[in-house]
Structure 1
């Protein structure tokens, strides 16, 4: 585990160092318990004349509230941890960097998307850069490459992966472990459950309140459980509202809060002029598959296991997109004729990688049904279509179509 965190810090730290070279304010944003403070402190140790301020300390917080301008007055790099706790600091920082526009002045961390918080008076447009830190990826935990996204766009359907011998039960176990460092190091299942139980409680009691006033926390807790029960499916706000006996507008607002505090991520629907029958409904995944597995523990239905593995794959891809050299975005595709593709990656050139996730240990030609539809309609824009499954082999299923083991996500080198 120590090596995993070290590997994570090297990768994320390089992004922070690059940003500090030409940006006045760098924000490390992400979920609770993903290592933001640890990463920020390691970066700060490399900065001459750096100073750290931790706003979870009551005395430090009181000083920041009393005199924000003097609090941020420092010549070198200043780390302010949990900066959202004192919103008035935002204007003080803006004042400093406007008067002295040198890069590398402030390194800020927060457990919610800072620019979405109602209490912040200014978003520092043009003065800041945000780096999102996710839970550990499988490559970071196991010491592998995590280069699938870059390799897929570079190599296309000729991509092949190392066979690790993992089967469905192994992938389910990896998904259930998730990537929060504290959960990963707890090998005892009951101890890991206690971590997730406390995590949800803290999230509702602390992080949610930073974003909005929620009168009935029990409704939020139940919504989280309902979202976990439908992982892999489209977001149906009306159905959720009916089950919670709440207005749809309230449920929609609650989901926005959960995305703001990095509990869930909405995967938007993808469409183009060539696919006019596509539906526009987003798909919702949990940022950490381990948390989703905890919330659905005891339900071992095939549909739920399939949804959990899909969540696992999509979250691994989303993590890679934060550091891949290929600039791409993740979507999903579904149309009114029931053709679907679990993940659609589109780069800046408009090239498409389609990915379908299967919980089976074998692959059938029909598993490529949605990918073949996109291939027919998009032509040369479709760089490749992959079925990621729970078996060990990498095999061609026709021009531009390949099946790979799920482990290809983290064992593939970017330059493959």
Structure 2
């Protein structure tokens, strides 16, 4: 099994808990230079162990995967190897063709809001049943409370630091480590300052369409360079691209995706914003709130019992829906995000268009807003507080 996810998201803690339930476990971390050197010098011996072998940060030595394949082929007992990676291991160009059909992958994200509050986030599943359920009674979150959630993000170390200055120091160190070490380990970056500027531009555009040519113009670099940087940032779980939804499956492949920072705390740090500045004004609260919602939904999809995928919706006339959730059976639900304490009929324009296009496949449409009341705007259209994301039961 491979646990893939961002640095500092809790992979080592999780693997230690799993290893503690096994007999004769052994953990080897490729973060340690002498262990990494041993792995590269003698990979066949490195992967031999009679019990559970945990290999941390496998992306540093992908040459271990062929010996693991050999070991699994001769002894197919499940659960012999538990691997972790802070880069999307299956996307590495140096990855040998060793894993299809032999490994289950779990993505581990920074904490969701429900996890922070010891709850179970059920919105991504419950939204498909809203049309048949009474309006929920949910406490709302004020703009200041939401600003704190956005600026804090979900990394366990950031959540544990109540002092905003200490939290920002962690985020600063985190970004520097990713740029100066992890990304450079994946590819030669001649100008890391350009990569940092790109991340700042992406943070400012969170929840917006990702157009590489525009970013290239702002950075005065080639679109090819921007695309390579974006790929690297996605490989190390800094950003996420959200594809466009269309009833025409072929259209989805070529449509322009949206982009968001995986962690809203990192996005806020890159833009020099703390919870006070977010709460008291500025044009970036709305985009950051939308990115925050997109990533909360992404986290929930990793534990949803149903196969649900995340998209966005946008027409040529620029009518849009911020998030579209689609089940394997074809049913969809739309989610629009409004950084306002009031909601109006016109806020459902994109959802109504999506409802007409999807027809019977449209299960529900929700406007998430910063108010504190659940309201109905039609049989399948509801307005809910943003807090429904982590307070609505499955």
TM-score, normalised with respect to structure 2: 0.94
Contact in 2 for aligned 1:268/1:332 (Cα 8 Å): yes
Matching of residue 320 in structure 1 with residue 300 in structure 2:
yes
Aligned to 2:324: 344
Runs of 4+ in 1 over 4 A off after TM superposition: 273-279, 298-302
- Name which of structure 1's ranges 326-335 and 110-119 shifts more when overlaid on structure 2: 110-119
- Alignment size in residue pairs: 389
Q: Distance in 1 between matches of 2:138 and 2:363?
A: 23
Contact in 2 for aligned 1:238/1:248 (Cα 8 Å): yes
Aligned to 1:400: 380
Contact in 1 for aligned 2:140/2:387 (Cα 8 Å): no
Q: Distance in 2 between matches of 1:29 and 1:277?
A: 26
Q: Distance in 2 between matches of 1:55 and 1:172?
A: 37
Aligned-residue Cα RMSD (Å) equals 2.0
Aligned to 1:20: none
TM-score, normalised with respect to structure 1: 0.89
Q: In the superposition, relative to structure 1, how do residues 261 and 95 fare at CA in structure 2: closer, same or farther (>3 Å)? A: same
Q: In the superposition, relative to structure 1, how do residues 279 and 29 fare at CA in structure 2: closer, same or farther (>3 Å)? A: closer
Q: In the superposition, relative to structure 1, how do residues 159 and 187 fare at CA in structure 2: closer, same or farther (>3 Å)? A: farther
Contact in 1 for aligned 2:131/2:379 (Cα 8 Å): no
Matching of residue 69 in structure 1 with residue 49 in structure 2:
no
Q: Distance in 2 between matches of 1:260 and 1:159?
A: 42
Structure 1 residue 214 displacement after superposition: 1.1
Q: In the superposition, relative to structure 1, how do residues 162 and 212 fare at CA in structure 2: closer, same or farther (>3 Å)? A: farther
Aligned to 2:219: 244
Structure 1 residue 279 displacement after superposition: 8.8
Q: Distance in 2 between matches of 1:326 and 1:274?
A: 20
Matching of residue 369 in structure 1 with residue 344 in structure 2:
no
Structure 1 residue 303 displacement after superposition: 3.5
Aligned to 2:233: 258
Contact in 2 for aligned 1:354/1:386 (Cα 8 Å): yes
Q: What does residue range 80-95 of structure 1 map to in structure 2 within 5 Å?
A: 80-95=55-70
Partner of 1:128, secondary structure, is coil
Partner of 2:23, secondary structure, is coil
- Name which of structure 1's ranges 266-275 and 401-410 shifts more when overlaid on structure 2: 266-275
Stretches of structure 1 lacking an aligned partner (at least 5 in a row):
1-25
- Deviation string 1:119-177 (CA, Å, 9 cap, x unpaired) is 33234111111100000000000112201112112344636444224212211211111
Aligned to 1:125: 100
Stretches of structure 2 lacking an aligned partner (at least 5 in a row):
none
Matching of residue 220 in structure 1 with residue 200 in structure 2:
no
2:180 to 202, 205, 208: 205
Structure 1 residue 302 displacement after superposition: 4.6
Partner of 2:3, secondary structure, is strand
